[in-house]
Structure formats: C-alpha cells, structure tokens
Structure 1
Amino acid sequence: MIQTVSCGGVVIYKGKILTLYKDFKSKREYKYVGWVLPKGTVELGETHEMTAKREVKEEAGVDAKIIGYIGSSQYHFRGKEDMVSKTVHWYLMSADNFYSKPQREEHFVDSGYYKFHEAYHLIKFSDEKYILKKGYQMYLDLRKQNKWGIEHNKKT
C-alpha cells in the first residue's frame, strides 16, 4: 500500500465557502466527477501550511491566508498500480474576494463560493463534508468572538 499526504483548505470569504467541480474520466474505468474542496500532495521541502496555500492557489487561483488547523481525514483508493492510503490535513483559510479560476489542467471545470448549506450538499465525499462542517463551525466561533476579520489577516 502506498502512503501519501495531502493538504487543503476550507476557504471562506464573507461567509461563503470555495468549492471546485472536477470532471475527470480516463480511458480506464477510473472516474472522478463532483464538487470538492481544494487540496493536493505535499511536495519535497514544503510544510503542510505551504502545501495548503499552494494548492488553493493552483487549483482555484485564490490567495488564501491560513487561520487555523481544522484536522485530518483519511481514505483509501485504488491507484494505477496499488492501493493508496491518503491522509489529508485541512486548514481554515480566508480569501479577500470572491475571485476564483478553476485549474483546467487538473480537470477542474468550475469553481465558486457557496453558502454553507449549498456547499455541504454539493460536496461529493463524506470526509470532506465532515471537514467542511468542522471548519465552518470554527469560522462561526471566531465570528462570534469578533476574531474573524482584520485580526486574522496578520496570520500567514
């Protein structure tokens, strides 16, 4: 079994959450179609935070700031040659506008910011729904404490 580590983000702007629509079908039976949160594989020399920020920028064209660590999720899938066990580290992140541009090279064909209940129902995978719910609750708690806004822009 191959072990991999990825990082991604629950990116929020004005209470709305960034989601991406991926439409990938290969000649083999592999198919990946649906709404997801931005994430990707850690590259040599990167911290988890660096990976999360880079992947959000690459996949969605969004410069996001990390607010805090949400947690991790794990899942398994069949890769080209072997089973893959993937751990994903997730961060609560903020954007400073609604701009997004899906990365066509990675088969992302749409992106946008959605209200929580819309994003929750769009997201394809249960582990990402769980992370979305947990991250959005962190966001609500920070807002309630008046800690979401100008203060969070000081973090990287």
Structure 2
Amino acid sequence: MFTNERRRGTGGSAMIEATSCGGVVIFRGKILLLYKNLKNKYDGWMFPKGTVEPGEDYEDTAIREVKEESGADARIVSYVGRSTYTFSIPQDVVDKEVHWYLMISDSYYSKPQKEEYFCDSGYYKYNEAYHLLKYPNERQILEKAYAQYLELKKRNMWGTHNM
C-alpha cells in the first residue's frame, strides 16, 4: 500500500511509517482544494498530496501529486512545514508524515482524479477554503502557507520567477 513504508513494533499489529508530500496551490489569491468521496462515504475537502516513490525527492513528489490528483500545473515557491497523524488499517497502524509546499499555478484549471475518488475540485478564497477543509492539521498548514503568500505579495515577489 505504501511504497516508502517502514514497519516497526512487535506483537499483533505493526506500526507502518509512511511519508507523503503535497501542495497548497494558489492562483490569484485563491486556494486549490479537492473533494474526495470514497464509495459514497463522505471524506471531505483536502489538499492534493501523495506518497513519495522510491528515489523521488520531496519536492518532485509534491509537484507530481498535485498534477496527478488535480490536473494543475504548479511550481514550488517555498516549504511550509510538515504535519503528522496516525490512522488504522486492518491489522496495522499507519504513522504518516506529510511535507507541505506553497505552490503557484498559472491558471484556475483543475480536473479531479477519479481513480483516487476525487469528484470535485476548485479554487476558493481563503475563508472559504479554511472552513471547507476537513482536517485541522490541513487548516494549520493553510494558515502558514497563506501567511507566506501574503508576505511575498506585500514585497511584490509573488509570481516572479526569482521567488
């Protein structure tokens, strides 16, 4: 399931360590979100992210996953930070670490990846995006990323090629 997994622990269940990377993509001040609906079970709005493949660096993973999951062409502006969480799958517990990047896109184009159960996507104003996001750790990442965006914009550096 996770190509970069590492198992630890003893006993009946193992702890699987997995690393993903994703992006907070902004175009003209609006933030890209994806809506996932897994087999008619509400999953909610989130940022594009995915698992690091063998031999791939974190920045390449973030760019690839944004493109695969949303169809958006985006480039990295800066590193935002990381979030961690734990969830259970049958027989195992997954300890997940996600590295987040502030990214810029050149258009509002997005097309949700149906194979990953994304059924909607779009760019939203900050307050809308904040309230739509399902996970508190992603809201915290949005706060950090948007603060970086506003600082770059204030210094007339947002959207320049020398960011």
Normalised by the length of structure 1, the TM-score is 0.92
* Alignment match of 2:33 (pick from 2, 7, 19): 19
**CA–CA distance in structure 2, aligned partners of residues 121 and 37 of structure 1:** 13
RMSD: 1.3
Equivalent residue for 2:6?
Answer: none
Any unmatched runs of 5+ in structure 1? none
> What residue in structure 2 maps to residue 151 of structure 1?
161
Q: What are the within-5 Å matches in structure 2 for residues 95-134 of structure 1?
A: 95-134=105-144
Partner of 1:138: 148
Q: Please name the residue that 1:37 is paired with.
A: 47
Aligned mate of 1:2, from 16, 30, 39: 16
Provide the aligned length of Structure 1 versus Structure 2: 149
| Aligned residue type for 1:38 | P
How big is the shift at 1:55?
A: 0.3
**1:31-66 CA distance string (max 9 Å, x none):** 551000000000001000000000000000011000
TM-score, structure 2 as length reference: 0.88
Return the match for 2:71 from 61, 69, 76. 61
Q: Tell me the alpha carbon deviations over residues 1-47 of structure 1, each in whole angstroms, 9 at most, x when there is no partner.
A: 00000000000000000000000138xxxx55100000000000100
Q: Does the residue aligned with 2:77 lie in a helix, a strand or coil? A: strand
**Partner deviation per Cα, 1:60-98 (whole Å, 9 max, x = no partner):** 001100000000000000023300000000000000000
C-alpha distance in structure 1 between counterparts of 2:94 and 2:159, whole Å = 39
- Identical residues among aligned pairs (%): 60
| One-letter amino acid of the counterpart of residue 21, structure 1 | Y
Alignment partners' CA distance in 1, 2:159 and 2:116 = 32
1:104-135, Cα deviation, whole Å (9 max, x unpaired) = 00000000000000000000000000001110
1: CA distance, partners of 2:90 / 2:80: 30
Amino acid at match of 2:60: M
Partner Cα separation in structure 1 for residue 53 and residue 159 of structure 2 = 30
SS of the residue 1:66 aligns to: strand
1:75 matched to 2:89: no
Q: Which contiguous aligned blocks of 4+ residues in structure 1 show a shift greater than 6 angstroms? A: none
How far the C-alpha of 1:150 sits from its partner, in A, is 2.3
What is the CA distance between 1:151 and its match in structure 2?
2.8
Q: Any conservation in 1 of the 2:104–2:159 contact (CA below 8 Å)?
A: no
